[in-house]
């Protein structure tokens, strides 16, 4: 006998947004726990979770800064967001990789992303 699936859909909490998240749970209690969590922490899509980082017309450039820092008295360095408390010793993205231990503590990794549409590239 096939197990039952419990499906849940959560819509983005931003007014007017039509994005949704679909979840499938094996147990009814897991579905209920997800619904309880959503009441306290409403779902926001990738456009609205961190709107200042969402590239769009009118916001075509963003900058993200990580700092090589020691965490919890560990011997290794970690890339930690400014004012952050957790991080990773390795960071990567399109066109770069960086191991925090290769740099002195306090080194800043500044990642800048910019959109260039045909209209702005011609100007």
Distances (CA, A) of 70 to 51, 65, 87: 29, 16, 10
Paired tokens of 103 = 């740099």
Split at pLDDT 50, 70, 90, the class of 120 is low
Q: Cα separation of 79 and 60, whole Å?
A: 25
How confident is the model at residue 83, as a pLDDT? 82
Strand partners, 8: 23
Paired tokens of 26 = 């094996």
Sheet with 61-70, edge to edge strand ranges: 77-81, 61-70, 108-114
Sign of the CA dihedral with 91 first, then 93, 44, and 24 last: negative
- Residue 17 CA, distance from chain mean position: 19
61-97 pLDDT, tens digit each:
999 999 999 988 889 999 999 888 899 999 999 999 9
Instruction: Quote the pTM value.
Output: 0.68
Average confidence (pLDDT) over 43-66:
91
């Amino acid at each position: 006998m096939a197990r039952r699936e419990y499906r849940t859909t959560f819509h983005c909490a931003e007014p007017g947004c039509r994005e949704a998240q679909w979840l499938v749970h094996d147990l009814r209690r897991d579905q209920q726990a997800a619904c309880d969590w959503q009441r306290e922490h409403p779902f926001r899509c990738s456009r609205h979770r961190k709107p200042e980082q969402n590239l769009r017309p009118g916001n075509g450039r963003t900058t993200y800064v990580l700092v090589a820092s020691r965490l919890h008295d560990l011997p290794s360095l970690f890339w930690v967001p400014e004012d952050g408390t957790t991080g990773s010793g390795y960071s990567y993205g399109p066109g770069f990789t960086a191991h925090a231990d290769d740099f002195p503590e306090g080194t800043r990794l500044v990642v800048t992303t910019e959109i260039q549409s045909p209209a702005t590239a011609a100007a």
